[in-house]
Amino acid sequence: MCGIVGYVGNREATTIIIEGLRRLEYRGYDSAGIAVVDGGKTGIRRAVGKLRNLDKVLSEQPLAGTIGIGHTRWATHGRPSEQNAHPHEVEGITVVHNGIIENYLELRRALSAQGRKFKSETDTEIIAHLVASNVAKGLSLVPAVRATIEAIRGAFAFVIQSEHEPDKLVTAKNATPIVVGLGEGENFVASDIPACLAHTRVFVFLRDGDFAVLTRSGVEITTFDGTPVPVKPKRIDWSPVMAEKGGHKHFMHKEIYEQPTAVADTIRGRVSMEEARVHLDGVSIGDAQKLNRFIITACGTSYHAALVGKFMIESIARIPVEVDLASELRYREPVIDEQTGVLAISQSGETLDTLAAIKECRTRGATIFAICNVLESSIARECAESGGVLYTHAGPEIGVASTKAFTTQLVALYLIAIHLGRERGTLSKEDAQELLTHLREVPKQIESVLSREASIISIARRVAKARDFLYLGRGPNYPIALEGALKLKEISYIHAEGYAAGEMKHGPIALIDEKMPTIGIATAGPVYEKTVSNLEEVKARDGKLIIIATEGDARIAEIADDVFLVPKNDPLIDPIITVVPLQLIAYHIADLNGTDVDQPRNLAKSVTVE
Ligand code: M6R
């Protein structure tokens, strides 16, 4: 959470930093700020709320200079206010920070006792005071920052500049992401790649414990205590256009439309039809015969993907799978041995709970591996040293509501299930070929759903003013009911519950009345009849029914108020398709209600706090 951008070069820093922050606004949008050093003086501009408020301040009070730092905030310590907005400045030292300084209260007390005065309620201001007090004792910037790191505890990625040494930026990382972008006569530092994509595709991904000094002519990396770390640049193949809206009203809408390509890209190069084998580049699941159990762990939408993955792996590879919310797994002393495989799923690869959960499992002897979308992210790195990483090729996902990351995670899980099934002999060559053929149909089938967006808009119009929704599904479509409900609530602020359709009669059916729309997923497959019976129960209580069913289902229209038909596929693949109309329904309801679809209130894209 929180986005950081820093620039040192020969161009106007403000333009580059503000453009970079715009690409990172998904990380937090409670306030934004920028500090530029020019002629040995620091100019700071800050504003509460979205970046556009800072734009306004800058248009009235511009900042010139070729070195600077910027920040977009998701509030942790201290409410969103101009005072609490970053950068924080003390005696010519300015700091932007992402993370939480755990011992900030004791440090604040100690600094106050020395007569230091605080202007904000944030933990970040501590860093500025510590560096300033070290500088006041005669240290230059780099040793002053190193000494500060010794004093602080917690998660941090920060960038610091000083008007006393106006040629350098200093950055350090512990448990919170930071990347350095390399340019010609200029260098960049940011929380995430899209911030600098317009200027460079060459990045260095700092590791925990790394400390970097950026100047116009180069970047020097050491450990916190000064041991040199070799600079290992990587070229990124994401293009700057991938981080643009491309004519869509919102990133979320664009990303929903990118799903056919993202799914195809995630399959590409991994499937050998002739041998009916899946090649999991980067992942070594070890001796598949010896693995006797999987735990899949994740948060939010990625957790819903994990729930679908349980159906896929258990059904195809016949290995028991437990699915655990990462925030629960990390604290419940899980029973794990060397025959347990732990799979983390994360779009960002930075979700703190997921990272902590897999670290805990690894300590207990598990092989850990990951499905991730972001190259070299913290979770990806942790797993690269153990079981490995299977990357989804969704490209940058900017909308806070996850869409294409989800469908590509499902594809990755299906590939893993087939791989395991083939290795363990639970899946014949012929059956694998059939499943893989079905998987390859998915991009076209998603396109077919997207081509009928108009009918989803009509459905959305009819229900946009409802205050509560119920989503029902069974089998692999039960997690899709959860996901549909999450999509709706997070972007439209409408209350929505996802339920296993068979659970209705144990309580939620009491909620049904003519005002509450129920969205049911009843596609062809082993649980079709059962699901339809549960939906009939809703109808019998005057509930309004919107049903996602399979093309050719003539019967469903008899009970539904609205039907949306999706192409037929294997029941285990169905969720990759049935989720798409639910994404669109949520999107259009939110848009009709005028909420901020890409940056819904109180949320951030990458959740790097507990
Ligand atoms: O980056 P991750 O996949 O680890 O993120 C997990 C959740 O924070 C994320 O899926 C969140 O629930 C989304 N806002 C859902 O749309």
Compute the distance from residue 304 Cα to the ligand 1 centre, in Å: 10
Say if ligand 1 is within 6 A of residue 301 CB: yes
The answer, yes or no, to whether any atom of ligand 1 lies below 6 A from the CB of 408, is no
Comparing 64-78, 180-194, 300-314, the range with the smallest average pLDDT is 64-78
Regarding the beta carbon of 348 and ligand 1, being less than 6 Å apart is answered yes
φ/ψ of 410, rounded to 5, equals -65, -40
CATH tag, 3-244? 3.60.20.10
Task: Using alpha carbons, select from 311, 376, 389 the residue that is nearest to residue 345.
Answer: 389
CA 128 to ligand 1 centroid distance, Å: 32
What residues contact 333, with CB distance under 8 A and at least 6 apart?
Answer: none
Average pLDDT for 77-101: 92
Is the pLDDT at 26 greater than 70, yes or no?
yes
Ligand 1 centroid to residue 298 C-alpha, Å: 9
Average pLDDT over residues 174-195: 94
State residue 505's pLDDT score.
85
For residue 402 and ligand 1, the question of a CB distance below 6 A is answered with yes
Average pLDDT over residues 405-416: 98
Which token pair is 111?
Answer: 């600094």
Please answer whether residues 474 and 527 qualify as being in contact, where contact means their C-beta atoms are separated by less than 8 angstroms.
yes
**Tens digit of pLDDT for each residue in 239-297?**
776 777 878 999 999 999 999 999 999 999 899 999 999 998 778 776 666 778 999 99
**Distance from the CA of 301 to the center of ligand 1, in angstroms?**
5
User: What's the CA-to-centroid distance between 604 and ligand 1, angstroms?
Assistant: 9
Whether residue 400 has its Cβ less than 6 Å from ligand 1: yes
Strands 88-90 and 93-101: antiparallel
Burial state string for 451-485 with b = 16 or more CB within 10 A and e = fewer than 16: eebeebbebbeebbebeebbbbbbbbbbbbbbbbb
Three-class SS of 222-238: EECCCCECCCCCEECCC
- If you take atom 4 of ligand 1, which residue's CA is the nearest one? 346
- Per-residue pLDDT, averaged over 61-66, amounts to 97
Predicted local distance difference test score (pLDDT) of residue 239: 74
For residue 397 and ligand 1, the question of a CB distance below 6 A is answered with no
Probe target for ligand 1 pocket from 303, 324, 347, with the most ligand atoms within 8 Å of CB: 347
* Host H or E run for residue 323: strand 321-325
Atom of ligand 1 nearest to the CA of 354: 4
Residue type, 500: A
Ligand 1: centre distance to CA 72 (Å): 19
Ligand 1 and 302: CB distance under 6 A: yes
Mean pLDDT of 203-216: 96
- Ligand 1 atom nearest the C-alpha of 298 is 4
Domains 3-244 and 253-440 share a fold: no
As a CATH number, domain 447-592 is 3.40.50.10490
> Does residue 95 contact residue 68 with C-beta atoms inside 8 Å?
no
| Mean pLDDT of the 300-323 span | 97
The predicted pLDDT at position 287 comes to 63
**403 CB near ligand 1 (under 6 Å):** no
Q: Is 327 in the pocket of ligand 1 (CB under 6 A)?
A: no
Query: What distance in angstroms lies between residue 98's CA and the mean position of ligand 1's atoms?
Result: 18
Active site residues: 2, 605
User: Ligand 1, residues 29, 251, 299, 491: which to mutate, most atoms within 8 A of Cβ?
Assistant: 299
Is domain 253-440 in CATH 3.40.50.10490, yes or no? yes
Query: For ligand 1, what atom is nearest to the CA of residue 351?
Result: 4
Residue 599 in contact with ligand 1 by CB distance below 6 A: no
Look at the alpha carbons of 26, 32, 35, 36 in this order and tell me if their dihedral is positive or negative: positive
Residue 330 has pLDDT above 90, yes or no: no
- If one counts every other C-beta atom within 10 angstroms of the C-beta of residue 563, the result is 18
User: Is 29's pLDDT higher than 90?
Assistant: no
Counting atoms of ligand 1 from 1, which one is nearest the CA of 606?
Answer: 1
Six-digit token string for 392: 């989804």
pLDDT for 453-475, tens place per residue? 999 999 999 999 999 999 999 99
Q: Is the CB of residue 377 below 6 angstroms from any atom belonging to ligand 1?
A: no
The predicted pLDDT at position 288 comes to 62
pLDDT of residue 240: 72
Output the six-digit token pair for 65.
Answer: 């200079």
Q: What is the mean pLDDT of residues 530-542?
A: 92
Give the pTM.
Answer: 0.80
| d(CA 406, ligand 1 centre) in Å | 9
Protein residue with its CA nearest to atom 11 in ligand 1? 300
376: confidence class by pLDDT, cuts 50, 70, 90: confident
What are the boundaries of each domain within the chain?
3-244, 253-440, 447-592
What's the mean pLDDT in 203-230? 96
- Altogether, the residues listed in the chain come to a count of 610
Give the rounded percent of residues in the chain with a pLDDT score beyond 90: 80
What number of other Cβ atoms are within 10 A of residue 120's Cβ? 18
Residue 238 scores a pLDDT above 90: no
Query: Do β-strands 271-272 and 3-8 pair in parallel, antiparallel, or remain unpaired?
Result: unpaired
